[in-house]
Amino acid sequence: MRIARFSIDGNVAFGAIEGEKQDELVLDIIKGIPFADFELSGTKVPVGKVRLLPPVLPNKVVAFGRNYAEHAKELGNEVPQAPFAFFKPSTSVIGPGDEIQYPSFSEEVHHEAELAVVIGRMCREVPRERVKDVIFGYTCANDITARDVQKREKQWARAKGFDTSCPLGPWVETDLDPGDLTIQLTVNGQQRQLGRTSEMVHSIEDLIVNISEAMTLLPGDVILTGTPAGVGPLNVGDEVAVTIEGIGTLTNKVVKRG
Ligand code: ZN
């Protein structure tokens, strides 16, 4: 099931998406929140009539670095023996169609297409065999990075945590085997990144075991699983799109911060 969060007439709700053709998609409004057992209301609205929001409002976004060997190599880094994580704050999250605001303190902002895992239940110290039970679903993410700032500052809070640096969406797909999906990114229609989730160094199980050893994960938290090779610069005016097989396309435009 594809679950979107959206606003219509000032109200925010979740809905299940029906249909296949982009311009014929309809939302069946969900009663309550989708993290527990929920019912569909049967009240339907066309997706074209609503504004899609980030599909979840995470308490935290945990991102893993250098999880595709070819990407680690292109930036001159070793593949880490163990997964290593950093945070993107909740204030960095934007939704499909929202604007990425180019930060004033960087001159080299990069795109990073990533598969995002959405957590469905509160959990800690998740054993490998239970990982699938704590996953709600999957969405597309763009781990927008001020590469120049990342190189000169030891902690990446500013480089990877600035406002609008975490586009998520367009919705969460709950029925998906994430093991071997095509992940691709275009800028103004030109392909920049292409990889498969099967190329991850550390699996989704590894990543969730690793981070949940340290901290409690909450429903709606998001885990970014690393980016394949092909990262590169974004400029003001660019339209950047992340497409993951079985999920959909997350498109955002880059603007100057006003
Ligand atoms: Zn990343």
Does the pLDDT value for residue 95 go beyond 90?
A: yes
- Give me ligand 1 centre to Cα 83, in Å: 12
Let me know: does 194 contact 184? Beta carbons within 8 Å: yes
- Give me ligand 1 centre to Cα 224, in Å: 7
Our measurement of the distance from residue 77's CA atom to the centroid of its chain's CA atoms, rounded to an integer in Å, reads 23
Which domains does the chain show, CATH number per domain? 2-52 (2.30.30.370), 61-256 (3.90.850.10)
Q: How far is CA 57 from CA 99, 201, 227, in A?
A: 17, 28, 22
Neighbours of ion ligand 1 (CB under 5 A): 112, 143, 227
What are 252's two structure tokens? 């955002």
- Give me ligand 1 centre to Cα 122, in Å: 24
- Give me ligand 1 centre to Cα 154, in Å: 16
Q: State the average pLDDT over residues 87-113.
A: 98
- Give me ligand 1 centre to Cα 42, in Å: 38
Does the pLDDT value for residue 227 go beyond 90?
A: yes
Distance CA(187)–CA(25), nearest Å, equals: 25
- Give me ligand 1 centre to Cα 9, in Å: 35
What are 135's two structure tokens? 């996953």
- Give me ligand 1 centre to Cα 110, in Å: 10
Q: 252 pLDDT band (50/70/90 cuts)?
A: very high
- Give me ligand 1 centre to Cα 116, in Å: 10
Q: State the average pLDDT over residues 2-24.
A: 94
Q: State the average pLDDT over residues 106-114.
A: 98
pLDDT in tens, 171-205: 999 999 999 999 999 999 999 999 999 999 999 99
Q: What is the pLDDT of residue 32?
A: 86
- Give me ligand 1 centre to Cα 88, in Å: 10
Range 51-65 burial, b when 16+ CB lie within 10 A, else e: ebbbbbebebbbbbb
Q: What is the pLDDT of residue 258?
A: 81
Enumerate the H helices of 51-126 as residue ranges: 69-74
